[in-house]
């Protein structure tokens, strides 16, 4: 509407004419003229005052009306509070005067401009239209109509707009336009179209009319007329109002005509203007149009906004969204979209199809457990569904490949009729569950599931593997009899010589025989393993098998074979070459080739100065020197061992050897001191009696026989005869311990120590007491006992006590206290298991005390030892990666985490997946974080906590990528399916933040 100005009084000529009759002015007339002049110059405040003063004058009737009128108008102009009432009084006081008509018009305009439309109408209705000009009449009708229009009284509005259309005035175009608008609101579409077409002849309405006409055609579903009219208009007129609205109407019209190409074009045109918003239904249609013309990325931009709401439109949009993402080769987004669609029940057909697609897609991308659950749901909800046959076939594939084996096993065991494919799946998943239990050291459960697998012998290779791992589980549980039986079932099968199960069974059986002292049988198995493994690609324990074969030869006194085997290990640079040097020296000694033996031992000392067999080598070399009567060299070797390894079990024997060497060198004082040391510190050592005899002889030679009686008395106390009560009591206490009657054994050992406080078994008894407390879970009492034992001086039991102290302080989270004891334990470790326990403790304790470089150092040592236990390397890799993350070495940490992901399906791998994905998230690499989760998460689905953490993180990544639909759907899925309450609460908090 063009700007409507406040009506000014048409009779201004009157006062202007009077003001010009200056020749005949009186004083009063002069004042009146001055007031008119102020009014004419818009000095309304001044003119109001002047006209107010004039009211006190003696005025004619005509002058009185004019003064009252202009005084009232001046008050109205300056927004004086009494202005409207003053003008109102003109209509009341002078109802027959033309000024009353002007006052009513003026009041109408006043209230019109104030948007007090009801009052404006009332005042306009007071105007006598018969006495005003055509222009003013047109204006009056238009304004009255417009006031009704604003009050949404369209019927009355039409009554006033219609006469304006017939008057050829400046308001004619306004009349047509608003008459058209009113007709449209009254659903008189033909009349509206006619009026708008007339309004289109007026330049001021040419930008406005096209949208209104387009809207009218659309309302009447005259889509062809809309397209024919609006398409050229949008191209020819540049100044169109609401051009974006015309684009949207065109898009809708083309959509209704199923012209999806043009519909997509105009939906895009609307969006690109950046003005206005589509309704959800329009966004849905835009998505469909883009989908139909294969513009799938644009389709997702529309669908994912509509899909946020849980209604029928949201369900259909989610379904389309799933198919769009499939076309874009984005299966993960597609899965989430189908998931949302099938969880809505507004359209059962879409629900069924979405569930089927969700199941099939999960299977294709390797999310087997999700696929199984979905196919279960499908078969339960749609037993007569059109996809039942395909679902049943797909289900068998999913069951074979899932890593939630217990769930798959439970599902299959419920099935009454098991096809060959299902029986094959059952054989596999029970085997895999057996492996899982084995890795978690739950050996009895592992054996149960291996037996279940063996009961369905569809795949012979799996049968062989199941028997092998059943044997491994028995061996790990220390049931060698059953282990041997299971291994022999594999070796007794008619397998090819390079069958992996057969080769590994030779190795396992070799150890089982070795540990049960069947050395000839062990020899055969290790030899078979060595011969076959070199020709295969089976993971090789070749180096270890060579060592054990050498041991078998040695124990059976096949010295030539033993020597050649150990030398082969040395030449092959076997990781245990230090042990091979030692054993080669021992064998050469047995063959009386002592010069060669010493040379071999020296090579071991020089090449492996930190060997854990250092004590063995030094002692053996000293022994050979003794045999060769090289007493000085022998004494030097014994002294080296005693000084460097005071806790070594060889010390009592080294003291004896040094005593004999000193005796031979006639150093009797040294001889006497070493024998006394044995009797004082190791009174129940196996060589204590020999020390007593040697001491007696050495003291006699020195004329000090009187000293001997005291040692003899102590010896008898420490070493009573086998039939003595002391020995019986000690053995009885030990039997209670080994029968797991730990509380009774503690009482028995304490009674023993009270009865025999000077017993040579004092340290051993204390160790048993501490260990019994430990096994009872009474860690504080155990710890105090082991600390007491540590303070008793050197002994073989002191080393065990140190190890226990480290373990208990670690369990109590006293990491700083545990560290020095783990270090001591690592120095006296006699085998790889003891080394592993010490290094593992140090690795973890240093990590917990924030000494991350040290944690990483010991993690490398654990890794170097290999898979001592099922999770040894995995745990070490995880600690190392976490230590690197803590020290800001993110790239190196990510490398370690990736190694762990590729090599392990353990819980450490699950945590590694979360940490690696989190590191990408924190650096803003949301897509890479998601891709990492997608690539690896399926194999960790059994670890509820870390699996859930990964998917909450997935939702956070989606938020970072502005994919709120995906984030919302992911969190809803976590809340629905997670079993861990902490994860559920995390997901709910994230979901609330999105909504």
Please state, in angstroms and as integers, the Cα–Cα distance from residue 511 to each residue in 52, 468, 496, 521, 527, following that order. 126, 13, 22, 10, 12
In whole angstroms, what is the distance from residue 805 CA to residue 497 CA?
A: 49
Select from 373, 365, 302, 369 the least CA-distant residue to 342: 373
In whole angstroms, what is the distance from residue 401 CA to residue 365 CA?
A: 11
Q: What is the pLDDT of residue 275?
A: 86
Select from 409, 337, 346 the least CA-distant residue to 963: 337
In whole angstroms, what is the distance from residue 110 CA to residue 102 CA?
A: 12
Q: Residue holding tokens 């004494």?
A: 635
Residues in the chain: 995
Q: What is the pLDDT of residue 828?
A: 77
In whole angstroms, what is the distance from residue 270 CA to residue 222 CA?
A: 21
SS3 (DSSP) at 244: helix
* Intervals of the chain under pLDDT 50: 1-24, 722-723
Q: What is the pLDDT of residue 718?
A: 63
DSSP 176-231: HHHHHHHHHHTT-HHHHHHHHHHHTTSGGGTTTHHHHHHHHHHHTT-HHHHHHHHH
Q: What is the pLDDT of residue 722?
A: 43
Select from 640, 633, 645, 704 the least CA-distant residue to 673: 704
Please state, in angstroms and as integers, the Cα–Cα distance from residue 791 to each residue in 108, 471, 772, 799, 816, following that order. 111, 43, 19, 11, 20
Burial of 8 by CB count in 10 Å (0-12 exposed, 13-18 middle, 19+ buried)?
Answer: exposed
For residue 312 the two structure tokens come to 């029928």
- Dihedral angle at the C-alpha atoms of 632, 636, 638, 644, nearest 10 degrees? 170
Q: CB 21: neighbour CB atoms within 10 A?
A: 10
For residue 814 the two structure tokens come to 């006293």
Q: What is the pLDDT of residue 794?
A: 65
Largest Cα separation within the chain, whole Å, is: 172
Burial of 855 by CB count in 10 Å (0-12 exposed, 13-18 middle, 19+ buried)?
Answer: buried
Eight-state DSSP code of residue 264: H
CB-based contact 969:995 (threshold 8 Å) = no
Select from 169, 138, 143 the least CA-distant residue to 156: 143
Q: CB 610: neighbour CB atoms within 10 A?
A: 6
Q: What is the pLDDT of residue 447?
A: 96
């Amino acid at each position: 509407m063009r700007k409507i100005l406040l009506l000014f009084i048409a009779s201004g000529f009157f006062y202007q004419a009077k003001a010009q009759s200056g020749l005949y002015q009186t004083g009063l007339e002069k004042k009146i003229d001055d007031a008119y002049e102020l009014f004419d110059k818009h000095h309304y405040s001044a003119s109001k005052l002047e006209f107010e003063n004039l009211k006190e004058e003696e005025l004619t009737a005509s002058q009185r009306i004019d003064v009252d009128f202009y005084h009232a108008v001046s008050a109205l102009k300056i927004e004086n509070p009494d202005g409207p009432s003053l003008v109102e009084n003109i209509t009341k006081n002078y109802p027959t005067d033309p000024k009353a008509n002007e006052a009513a018009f003026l009041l109408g305009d006043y209230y019109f401009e104030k948007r007090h439309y009801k009052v404006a109408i009332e005042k306009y209705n007071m105007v006598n239209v018969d006495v005003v000009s055509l222009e003013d009449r047109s204006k009056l009708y238009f304004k009255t109509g417009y006031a009704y229009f604003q009050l949404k009284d369209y019927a009355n509005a039409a009554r006033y707009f219609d006469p304006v259309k017939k008057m050829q005035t400046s308001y004619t175009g306004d009349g047509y336009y608003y008459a058209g608008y009113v007709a449209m609101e009254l659903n008189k579409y033909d009349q509206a179209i006619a009026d708008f077409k007339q309004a289109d002849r007026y330049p001021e309405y040419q930008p406005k009319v096209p949208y209104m006409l387009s809207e009218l055609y659309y309302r009447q579903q005259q889509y062809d007329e809309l397209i024919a009219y609006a398409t050229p208009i949008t191209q020819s007129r540049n100044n169109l109002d609401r051009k974006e609205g015309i684009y949207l109407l065109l898009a809708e019209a083309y959509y209704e005509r199923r012209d999806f190409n043009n519909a997509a074009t105009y939906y895009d045109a609307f969006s690109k203007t950046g003005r206005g918003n589509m309704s959800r239904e329009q966004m849905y249609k835009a998505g469909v149009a883009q989908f139909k013309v294969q513009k799938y990325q644009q389709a997702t931009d529309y669908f994912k906004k509509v899909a946020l709401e849980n209604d029928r439109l949201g369900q259909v949009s989610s379904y389309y969204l799933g198919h769009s993402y499939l076309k874009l080769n984005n299966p993960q987004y597609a899965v989430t979209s189908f998931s949302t669609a099938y969880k809505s029940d507004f359209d059962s057909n879409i629900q069924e199809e979405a569930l089927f697609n969700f199941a099939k897609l999960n299977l294709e991308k390797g999310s087997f457990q999700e696929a199984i659950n979905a196919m279960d749901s499908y078969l339960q909800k749609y037993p007569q569904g059109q996809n039942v046959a395909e679902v049943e076939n797909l289900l068998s594939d999913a069951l074979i490949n899932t890593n939630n084996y217990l769930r798959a096993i439970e599902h299959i065991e419920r099935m009454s009729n098991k096809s060959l494919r299902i029986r094959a799946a059952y054989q596999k998943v029970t085997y895999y569950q057996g492996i899982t239990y084995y890795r978690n050291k739950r050996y009895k459960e592992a054996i149960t599931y291996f037996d279940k697998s063996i009961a369905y012998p569809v795949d012979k290779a799996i049968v062989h593997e199941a028997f092998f791992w059943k044997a491994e589980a028995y061996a790990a549980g220390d049931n060698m009899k059953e282990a041997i039986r299971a291994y022999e079932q594999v070796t007794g099968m008619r397998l090819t010589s390079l069958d992996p199960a057969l080769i590994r069974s030779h190795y396992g059986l070799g150890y089982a025989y070795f540990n049960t002292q069947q050395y000839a049988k062990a020899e055969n198995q290790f030899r078979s393993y060595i011969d076959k493994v070199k020709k295969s690609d089976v993971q090789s324990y070749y180096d270890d098998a060579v060592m054990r074969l050498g041991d078998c030869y040695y124990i059976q006194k096949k010295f030539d074979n033993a020597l050649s085997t150990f030398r082969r290990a040395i030449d092959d640079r076997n990781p245990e070459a230090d042990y091979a040097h030692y054993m080669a020296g021992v064998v050469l000694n047995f063959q009386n080739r002592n010069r060669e033996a010493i040379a071999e031992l020296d090579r071991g000392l020089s090449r492996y100065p930190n060997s854990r067999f250092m004590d063995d080598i030094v002692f053996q070399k000293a022994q050979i020197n003794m045999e060769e009567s090289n007493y000085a060299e022998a004494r030097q070797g014994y002294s080296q061992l005693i000084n460097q390894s005071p806790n070594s079990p060889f010390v009592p024997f080294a003291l004896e050897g040094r005593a004999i060497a000193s005796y031979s060198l006639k150093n009797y004082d040294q001889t006497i001191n070493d024998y006394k040391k044995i009797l004082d510190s190791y009174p129940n050592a196996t060589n204590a009696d020999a020390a007593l005899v040697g001491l007696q002889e050495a003291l006699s030679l020195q004329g000090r026989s009187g000293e001997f009686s005291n040692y003899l008395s102590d010896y008898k106390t420490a070493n009573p005869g086998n039939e003595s009560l002391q020995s019986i009591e000690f053995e009885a206490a030990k039997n209670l311990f080994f029968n797991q009657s730990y509380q009774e054994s503690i009482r028995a050992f304490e009674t023993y120590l009270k009865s025999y406080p000077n017993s040579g078994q004092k340290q051993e008894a204390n160790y048993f007491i501490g260990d019994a407390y430990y096994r009872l879970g009474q860690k504080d009492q155990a710890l105090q006992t082991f600390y007491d034992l540590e303070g008793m001086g050197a002994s073989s039991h002191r080393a065990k006590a140190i190890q226990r102290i480290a373990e208990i302080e670690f369990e109590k989270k006293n990491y700083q206290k545990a560290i020095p004891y783990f270090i001591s334990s690592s120095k006296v470790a006699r085998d790889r298991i003891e080394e592993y326990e010490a290094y593992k403790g140090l690795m973890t304790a240093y990590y917990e005390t924030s000494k991350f470089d040290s944690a990483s150092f010991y993690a490398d040592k654990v890794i170097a030892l290999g898979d001592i236990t099922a999770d040894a390397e995995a745990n070490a890799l995880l600690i190392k990666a976490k230590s690197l993350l803590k020290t800001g070495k993110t790239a190196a940490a990510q490398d370690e985490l990736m190694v762990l992901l590729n090599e392990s399906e353990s819980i450490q791998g699950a945590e590694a997946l979360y940490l690696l994905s989190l590191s990408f998230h924190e650096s803003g690499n949301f897509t890479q974080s998601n891709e990492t989760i997608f690539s690896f998460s399926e194999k960790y689905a059994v670890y509820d906590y870390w699996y859930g953490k990964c998917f909450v993180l997935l939702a956070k990544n989606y938020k970072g990528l502005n994919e709120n639909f995906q984030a919302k759907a992911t969190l809803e899925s976590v809340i629905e399916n997670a079993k861990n309450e902490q994860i559920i609460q995390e997901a709910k908090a994230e979901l609330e933040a999105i909504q």
